[in-house]
Structure 1
């Protein structure tokens, strides 16, 4: 696998490290790529925990295969190739869920904490749209190797020849696989562009921050009418680990939550923290049950906000889990100030 251009200083240094067999220097040079490789693995696997594991597996494989690095490719390219194949091997072993079952594409889905994204998202090809949950879910509709082709070609911008070498397939197979992948993604994301390499906005807007604060406030005041007013009437909603995405009116959605016991006595004492996951506004919701000494993390709601209203809500059951660096409990007697949309 080759990259255009002369051998850079990084590759020359890495070749020297490979020849020396120094594990400490090897770790220093490869560690700088951890965050972007982890995002790449997350796009492949849709699961934060698995992405962490496969990133570590990538570094282990890189160390054991270090003699295969000849300086003909950029170090970053070489690591991406190893990471992609580690993910494909993992997917081959993951227990498959029949595609005809509702929610099979979200079976392994976890949110991704923004604090773990690369510091320079544009430089490391982390466009906002390609880390959003809707995009991650859409990619899971693709077979694993087709998924790899799509991510390497359309997200990372690799030429077909480089993708073919990385996956050990023909350029023709890359081209046909990409065509099929694009058709599937277009079907799953009909209102989104397919040029994922264009510049993307990364900061939340004031409107988005305001909606999250209002969403949290409605919970804390058990204001069902206020909550209904924040939701679009064609709300797309899923509460994981339950399967299936449903589209319902705002009132039907809230009525369903009430019927399930939320906002009823014993489930009506809320606190919330505004945060971000997957480059999306989100609310971490805490619930205190009667006689409990503190509020406990209950759910994380990732929100897609369109024209000042919540168009998509993906809820993650967070009970009993140390999620995303969020505090697991909040004290009852703390003078409460909501978050401002920054990372928790």
Structure 2
């Protein structure tokens, strides 16, 4: 932080710091802390959960980073207006939610891109998807276990809702904020919040993804089939209604036969090596061709089969601390 708080604000911040984070500061210590250090100490307990909140709303790890930085800057600049009527956490969520709403309504949302995998012919897709800007979220960046509300299916479904409904559903059903607090955050009424929540719930499919003990064994079989280009072994792992998508490309494939054709085209000229990781509470793998990162695959597991494969391009590899090049 390079901005400087007005002197009138420093006292408010110091007092709040003593009240909100007594374990971080002992009496008298605040006077020795610079403005930036005090602000960091006050907001740092909430930064990770705010980042996850922005990701749920925006469906993008990068956009969540931008929204979080905008939130912290706005909080820094307007701290003098924080009167403590709501908790600091609620105040920060109010700022973050409204920054995300602005982003969702903005024309700068990224468009779909064309198929760009060299040497691989794209088969005719089953359909074109509506959600083309989506990125995975690394499990390593999470500090709690509620990953079902971060599944790719859930986050994708959120992107199909109007922005206000996204905000209300996440704040009420995921974060458990009371309706009155949500109404205050969004400058609306409780009845409007409850109406938006009802409409959002009606449009949102019940698609929770809970980690299964079978994930690890299934993932090992997937890696063996994929790396050896064993098409039949791979198809045997899929559900009959398996779903393949590849944001930001709009192409989607539904069903085993469509998946078979798609994977056959991938294996015709390429051999892959996979490195395991986890994303959105689901098994994931960095993919490499001739030692170079080509993307990330996230699996959705249903029982002992794979119900969905979501392929992302190589730009998401740095989120997962995976190498760009294999030695």
TM-score, normalisation: structure 1 = 0.77
2:100 to 80, 87, 95: 87
Tell me if the contact between 1:276 and 1:282 (Cα under 8 Å) persists in the aligned partners.
yes
CA distance in 1, matches of 2:136, 2:264: 25
* Post-superposition offset of 1:191: 5.4
Question: Aligned ranges for residues 136-175 of structure 1 at < 5 Å?
Answer: 136-175=155-194
2:292 to 296, 304, 309: 296
CA distance in 1, matches of 2:37, 2:198: 43
CA distance in 1, matches of 2:309, 2:184: 39
Correspondence for 1:263: 267
* Post-superposition offset of 1:326: 1.1
Larger relative contact order (Cα-Cα within 8 Å, sequence gap ≥ 6): 2
CA distance in 2, matches of 1:311, 1:212: 13
Tell me if the contact between 1:297 and 1:320 (Cα under 8 Å) persists in the aligned partners.
no
Question: Aligned ranges for residues 150-299 of structure 1 at < 5 Å?
Answer: 150-185=169-204, 189-190=205-206, 192=208, 204-249=211-256, 251-259=257-265, 262-265=266-269, 267-268=270-271, 270-288=272-290, 295-299=291-295
Q: Which has the higher helix share?
A: 2
* Post-superposition offset of 1:103: 2.2
Structure 1 residues 96 and 285: alpha-carbon distance in aligned structure 2, compared to 1, 3 A threshold = closer
* Post-superposition offset of 1:190: 4.1
- The gaps in structure 1 that reach 5 residues or longer are 1-6, 193-199, 289-294, 332-344
* Post-superposition offset of 1:229: 1.2
SS at match of 2:216: helix
Question: Aligned ranges for residues 301-316 of structure 1 at < 5 Å?
Answer: 301-316=297-312
CA distance in 2, matches of 1:171, 1:316: 39
CA distance in 2, matches of 1:238, 1:62: 37
CA distance in 2, matches of 1:12, 1:172: 35
CA distance in 1, matches of 2:65, 2:315: 21
Deviation per CA, 1:34-53: give whole Å up to 9, x if none: 11000000011000001011
Structure 1 residues 108 and 97: alpha-carbon distance in aligned structure 2, compared to 1, 3 A threshold = closer
1:68 to 58, 78, 81: 81
CA distance in 1, matches of 2:184, 2:19: 22
SS at match of 1:79: helix
* Post-superposition offset of 1:254: 2.2
CA distance in 2, matches of 1:306, 1:10: 46
CA distance in 2, matches of 1:245, 1:272: 22
SS at match of 1:299: strand
Structure 1 residues 43 and 109: alpha-carbon distance in aligned structure 2, compared to 1, 3 A threshold = same
Structure 1 residues 227 and 70: alpha-carbon distance in aligned structure 2, compared to 1, 3 A threshold = same
Tell me if the contact between 2:135 and 2:316 (Cα under 8 Å) persists in the aligned partners.
no
1:24 to 25, 33, 37: 37
> Between Structure 1 and Structure 2, how many residues are aligned?
291
SS at match of 1:297: strand
* Post-superposition offset of 1:8: 10
Correspondence for 2:137: 112
* Post-superposition offset of 1:321: 5.7
TM-score, normalisation: structure 2 = 0.81
Q: Runs ≥4 in structure 1, deviation > 6 angstroms?
A: none
